Amino acid sequence: MAAITSQQSYSDDWKRTNPDYAVYLPSTAPYHPEAADHTMVDYTPGGDLLAIWTTAFEFRGVDQSIAFSRSTDGGVNWSPRGIVSGPGPKEGQKSQWGFPVVSNAGRIYVFYNKSTGLGYTAYIECKYSDDDGYTWIDGGVEIPYRRTKWDHPDPKVPPGGIIWQKSTRDAKGRQIVPLSHGTHEFIKPHLSGAGMGGTAKFLSGLMEMRCEFLRFDNIDEGPDPKDLQLTWLPDDEDLVAVPMSAEPFASAGYSFCQEPGLVLLPDGRLFTEMRTANGDIWYTVSDDDGHTWRETEVLRYKDGGERMLNPISPSPMYRLEDGRYILFLQNHDGYGYGGIGPLDLNSRRPQFLAVGEFRENAHQPVWFSEPLFFCDTEMVGVFPDNMYWLSMYSSLTERDGKRVFWYTDRKIFFLGRDITDEMLAELTVPK
Q: How far apart are CA 202 and CA 281, in angstroms?
A: 19
Q: How far apart are CA 249 and CA 269, in angstroms?
A: 31
> Is 193's pLDDT higher than 60?
no
pLDDT tens profile 141-174: 999 999 999 988 888 888 888 888 999 999 999 9
| Cβ neighbourhood burial of 135 (10 Å; 0-12, 13-18, 19+) | exposed
Give percent of the chain above pLDDT 90: 73
pLDDT score for 199? 46
380 CB neighbour count, 10 Å cutoff? 11
For every residue of 109-139, DSSP letters joined together read: EEEEEEE-SSTT-EEEEEEEESSTTSS-EE-
One-letter amino acid identity for 32? Answer: H
pLDDT tens profile 320-347: 999 999 999 999 999 999 999 998 889 9
- Given its phi and psi angles, is residue 106 left (phi above 0), alpha (psi -120 to 50 degrees) or beta? left
Nearest to 83 by CA among 31, 34, 10: 34
Q: How far apart are CA 344 and CA 321, in angstroms?
A: 35
- pLDDT classification of 121: cutoffs 50, 70, 90: confident
- Distant-in-sequence, close-in-space partners of 156: CB < 8 Å, separation ≥ 6: none
pLDDT score for 154? 87
Taking a C-beta distance cutoff of 8 angstroms, is the pair 415, 59 a contact? no
For every residue of 57-81, DSSP letters joined together read: SSTT-TT-EEEEEEESSTTSS-PPP
301 CB neighbour count, 10 Å cutoff? 19
Average pLDDT of span 216-242? 97
The dihedral of CA 87, 90, 92, 93: what is its sign? negative
- pLDDT classification of 4: cutoffs 50, 70, 90: low
pLDDT tens profile 73-96: 999 999 999 999 998 777 778 899
Tell how far CA 203 is from the center of its chain.
23
Strand-pairing partners, residue 162, are: 180
pLDDT score for 195? 38
Torsion from C-alpha of 277, 278, 281, 282, nearest 10 degrees: -100
Q: Which domains does the chain have, with CATH numbers?
A: 12-425 (2.120.10.10)
Q: How far apart are CA 131 and CA 123, in angstroms?
A: 26
pLDDT score for 203? 45
Nearest to 172 by CA among 259, 282, 286, 273: 286
pLDDT score for 297? 97
> Is 202's pLDDT higher than 70?
no
Q: How far apart are CA 404 and CA 396, in angstroms?
A: 6
306 CB neighbour count, 10 Å cutoff? 11
16 CB neighbour count, 10 Å cutoff? 19
128 CB neighbour count, 10 Å cutoff? 21
Of 103 and 382, more confident: 103
CA terminus-to-terminus distance, the chain: 48
Mean pLDDT, the chain, integer: 90
Q: How far apart are CA 236 and CA 242, in angstroms?
A: 15
Strand-pairing partners, residue 184, are: 199
Radius of gyration of the chain (CA): 20
pLDDT tens profile 25-37: 988 755 567 889 9
pLDDT score for 189? 64
Taking a C-beta distance cutoff of 8 angstroms, is the pair 142, 123 a contact? yes
pLDDT score for 194? 39
Strand ranges (DSSP E) for 149-194?
Answer: 162-163, 168-169, 175-182
Phi, psi of 304 (to 5 degrees): 75, 5
Average pLDDT of span 284-297? 98
Nearest to 415 by CA among 43, 13, 1, 10: 13
